[in-house]
Structure 1
Amino acid sequence: MSNIIELRDVWKRYDTGGEVVEALKDVHFHAEPGEFVSVMGPSGSGKSTMLNVLGLLDTPSEGTVLLDGQDVTDLSDREMTTQRKRFIGFIFQSFHLIPTLSALENVEVPTLFGDDPTARDRATELLERVGLGDRLDHRPDQLSGGQKQRVAIARALINEPQILLADEPTGNLDQETGRSVLDLFDEIRREDDVAVIAVTHDPQLSNYTDRTVELIDGRIQ
């Protein structure tokens, strides 16, 4: 099966004024459709940088990023945004829900700048799928941590991505709630053939993933 996303010989350097920090060093990485990969490593090892490069939020200093076989390394900001919307859904540890919007409206947010008459129906279906069909009109302050994470997952799926990038998706959840979120990831990747790539410190993720990649000092071990 061909890779949906791939990093080849990727380096990422930051000039901090006095010195150059190498956040990623010669990273090779890939994920196939339907594969669940976790990226583990100590704080400061480059995990978030790698996730940003995979999510087309940051460009490598050297190397190549391939998305569905296409080289996307040197696209313009506008082209990057188009590819992100087409291929990638993001899930964050702190949920990033808009407090004044209902669960349904939060899920619809990524569709607001397009003309999509089916968005509300899709958002409703996704919330039902993640077990929140009875919480459509609840604002984030009326939801538990696990429910907020499920809203965030539904929002990440609204544009029907082929890749889900998750940054510490169980970091703010108790163990049981975290397991239910991981069950949901497992269902999504099996039923929708979505690649799930999760940066995590949570050892229970390895019970769900196809493989774990360890990143230490910017290098994959």
Structure 2
Amino acid sequence: MLIETRNVWRRYTLGGEIVTALADVSFGVKPGEFVAVVGPSGSGKSTLLNLIGLLDTPDEGTVLVDDVAAETLSDGQRTELRRDTIGFIFQDFYLIPTLTARENVALPQLFTESATERNERAVALLSQFGLGDRTEHTPSELSGGQQQRVAIARSLINDPAVVLADEPTGNLDQNTGKTILGEFERITDDGTSVVAVTHDRLVTDFADRVVELVDGRVGDSTKATQHVS
């Protein structure tokens, strides 16, 4: 498994009460696999995404990334592993409005590559996603679908092994959503894994596997048999 949780528990204290967000969750993602995680609001989907993205730590259990147990790492080592292994796509894109598409995509490499190298890589990714003529446009000059493609390009700038997406089609119309999910299919064909937390049936139609979370526990897991065209 590329990313795996083993018997993970995560609890929070809210209003003086202990709330269990995840209860004994074991979950894994293989290289090149597209997994959709579904469930009602409050079922623990975002908590799971934060744990496998190394943004949070479990109260019990283990999170492994490429067979490395996250709890054995220092904060600095976790940051490096996250930077080198994981790409993030947020529901609201979180593009910096004063930066161009190229600058937004290149930003994660600001301290790791030369300006020439990161700009060349950013332009190549934008061109790959059909935005070669939009590299110098700011987010306000791009459509929602174009902004989402910039966000996807940014998530790939460090050649991650896995991309974690939070409601990747939540702000998009169906046609644009299909285009984005087609991009996910393409990067998984290249060996990059995708884990998408979603309420959108369209995402589950494109996924290789669908995992359901209910009240912080893993419920049904199904294998998708065909994709939407």
Alignment partners' CA distance in 1, 2:140 and 2:71: 39
1:172 is aligned to 171
- 2:3 alignment counterpart: 5
Given the two structures, how large is their TM-score scaled by the length of structure 1? 0.97
Match of 1:143 in 2: 142
1:100-136 Cα distance to aligned partner (Å, 9 max, x none): 0000000011011223342111111000001100000
Q: Quick one: which amino acid aligns to residue 132 of structure 2?
A: G
Question: In the alignment, is residue 185 of structure 1 matched against residue 184 of structure 2?
Answer: yes
After superposition, what is the alpha-carbon deviation per residue over 1:149-202, rounded to whole angstroms, capped at 9, x for unaligned?
0000000000000000000000000000000000000001102x0110000001
- Residue of structure 2 in register with 1:120 after alignment: 119
What is the alpha-carbon distance in structure 1 between the residues aligned to residue 15 and residue 143 of structure 2?
42
Partner residue, 1:153 = 152
- Aligned amino acid, residue 47 of structure 1: K
Q: Distance in 1 between matches of 2:145 and 2:113?
A: 31
Which whole-Å deviations, capped at 9, do the CAs of 1:43-102 have from their partners, x for residues lacking one? 111100000001000000000011111111242221111000010000011000000000
Mapped to 1, the partners of 2:15 and 2:182 lie a distance apart of 44
Distance 2:166 2:38 in 1: 11
Paired residue type of 2:3: I
**SS across alignment from 2:71:** coil
Match of 1:79 in 2: 77
Partners of 2:189 and 2:6 in 1: how far apart? 26
Question: TM-score of the superposition, structure 2-length normalised?
Answer: 0.93
Decide which of 16, 39, 43 is 2:41's aligned counterpart. 43
CA distance in 2, matches of 1:166, 1:58: 16
* Range with bigger deviation, 129-138 or 206-215: 206-215
Identity among equivalent positions (%) equals: 58
Alignment partner, residue 218 of structure 1? 216
Residue type of the partner of 2:149? R
Match of 2:101 among 103, 106, 113: 103
Q: Which amino acid aligns with 1:196?
A: V
**For structure 1, which segment, 205-214 or 94-103, has the greater mean C-alpha deviation from structure 2 after superposition?**
205-214
Question: 4+ residue runs of structure 1 moved beyond 4 angstroms?
Answer: none
Q: Which piece of structure 1 moves more, 167-176 or 68-77?
A: 68-77
Gap runs ≥5 in structure 1: none
Q: Does 1:66 align with 2:61?
A: no
State the partner residue of 1:88: 86
CA distance in 2, matches of 1:129, 1:173: 20
TM-superposed deviation, 1:16: 2.2
Residues matched between the structures, number: 218
- TM-align CA RMSD: 0.9
Equivalents in 2 of 1:169, 1:31: separation in Å?
18
What is the identity, as a one-letter code, of the residue corresponding to 1:190? Answer: D
